[in-house]
């Protein structure tokens, strides 16, 4: 029986550098989540919105992550 893939809304995650750990020297990362990103949204559009959101933050950007969710059924 073939698998049916049903896309669900995705989650956008912005990883922001809030400072540096004085002991290790590694960056301290704060994660900000935006749920319910429409599955039909183009990746470029999501990236453009994410960079605009980062411009409103006082902290600098470490990375942008997009998690896409699917249900697999038969």
Q: Domains in the chain: how many in total?
A: 1
Strands (E), the chain: 4-20, 27-37, 60-73
* CB of 17 closer than 8 Å to CB of 29: yes
> How big is the chain by its Cα radius of gyration, in Å?
16
Average pLDDT over residues 62-67: 98
Average pLDDT over residues 48-56: 97
pLDDT given at position 1: 82
What are the tens digits of pLDDT across the range 1-39? 899 999 988 999 999 999 999 999 999 999 999 999 998
Average pLDDT over residues 40-69: 96
pLDDT given at position 70: 93
pLDDT given at position 8: 86
């Amino acid at each position: 029986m073939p698998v049916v893939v049903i896309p669900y809304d995705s989650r956008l995650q912005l990883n922001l550098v809030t400072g540096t750990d004085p002991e290790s020297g590694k960056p301290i990362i704060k994660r900000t989540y935006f749920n319910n990103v429409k599955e039909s949204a183009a990746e470029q559009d999501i990236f453009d919105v994410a960079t605009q959101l980062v411009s409103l933050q006082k902290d600098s950007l470490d990375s942008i992550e997009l998690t896409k969710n699917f249900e697999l059924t038969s």
